[in-house]
Amino acid sequence: MKKLGDYFNGNKFMDILLECTAVYVLLTLFEYNTSNFSKIIFSMIIIGILNTIINNKNNKFEKEKRHQENSKKILESIIELNDTLLKVEKTEELFQLIMESAVGIIENAQMGSLMILDQKTQKLEYKAAVGFEMSTLKQINLKLEDTFLWRSNNGNITNACIVNDVEVFNQVVIDKKTFNKMKDTDFHSTMSAISAPIIINEVLYGMINVDNTSLEVFNESDLLLLEFFASQVGAVIQRHQLLEKMLFLSQYDSLTNVYNRSYFEEVFLKTCKKLTPERDHFSLVLFDLDNLKTTNDTYGHYVGDLLLKEFADRLERTCSPDLFARYGGDEFIAVFFNKDEGTVGAKLQDIIKSFANSPLKYKEHHLPVKFSYGISSYPKNSTDLKKLISKADKRMYVSKNNRKSKEGSSF
């Protein structure tokens, strides 16, 4: 029954039905008392009409078939892009995959580019390309007002557009400096283009352009396909941003933007597995901020957070540790590869002087940033992470107690 139903619903059944109708009309005509010539002419007209109906039916069928195939391509591309979200390490890698998919989906697309809008400058920067040299494109930033979308749609950047003569468009619209830069790129070969917006949370995020070296090669069907693809890409990018945020929060301290404890230990243990006591050495430092509690009690936790951020930022800039993490509430940990205790100790004395000469400023207050530290060495003190941290912790508290006895109750 299924095969019979497919047959009656198919295109072949309509062809047969129309042909039978034509035969019936011809036989009926011959029954009337008209001349043979009139019968022939009238029959030819009927057959011509029926052929037109059949051709239109076939064309419609082919269009629907192409539409289904293109929709399938888009669906497969979006599924593939979603599958790669956990695999790509950098956003630029995702952008490149998106661009390659776009060129693959649009039949006449030979090359293309993806631009991202800088919300502050309102300029678009090239982030991915197919068929163009990225090193050159990165030197070009386009004003939003100079883009295909803006000019073709009179400032309405929510709809895709076709540009049938790119060279004429660029000469008329783009400023001379940018136009001359573009002449030195592969863009000079582009003649036709489609541009579609990437919208995220109802805000323009970027644009996808696909291009061809011939004039007027894109049609309305291509336009709708790229527009739909770009709308799906917006959702993919949004999911990737969410995953990046979740990954960041799982690895970094959200206040100071340095590693958190668990991620530091994960990275450090992986690194230590590659080290050998005979060949490698490093210094591990444990820090404790001496006046965080006093600052919180006196000025509030907002100022205490400023103190934590100032310490982390200045230590990174001044000492450049190879690994650096917030280890607890007011504790930090750092690793300096191929540096001995003396070298690291000298660096830390410099940062102590830096904080003394340039304290944290908050309103009319100048707040000191004081800290104690302890250093342990690999392999001199131990080759075990826990033992190294324990050694550094003990030395840190010796240092803290010594300072307490010297400075009294200022801790």
Partnered with residue 333 across adjacent β-strands are: 286, 325
Residues of the chain with pLDDT under 50: 1-10, 33, 409-411
User: Does pTM surpass 0.75?
Assistant: no
pLDDT at 377: 94
Q: What is the pLDDT of residue 1?
A: 41
Beta-bridge partners for 377 = 283
Which residues sit opposite 282 in a β-bridge? 337, 378
Span 336-371, pLDDT tens digits: 999 999 999 999 999 998 898 888 888 888 888 889
Q: What is the pLDDT of residue 198?
A: 96
**What beta strand segments (E) does 88-234 contain?**
111-118, 123-130, 141-143, 161-163, 192-200, 203-212
Please name the CATH architecture into which domain 261-410 falls: 2-Layer Sandwich (3.30)
Superfamily covering domain 90-249 = GAF domain (3.30.450.40)
Q: What is the pLDDT of residue 7?
A: 40
pLDDT given for residue 62 in this prediction: 58
No. of helices (H) and no. of strands (E), the chain:
14, 12
Closest to 104 (Cα-Cα) out of 121, 81, 127: 81
Parse the chain into domains and list their residue ranges.
2-80, 90-249, 261-410
Q: Residue 61 CA to chain centroid, in angstroms?
A: 38
Which residues on adjacent β-strands are paired with residue 162?
Answer: 194
Q: What is the pLDDT of residue 43?
A: 58
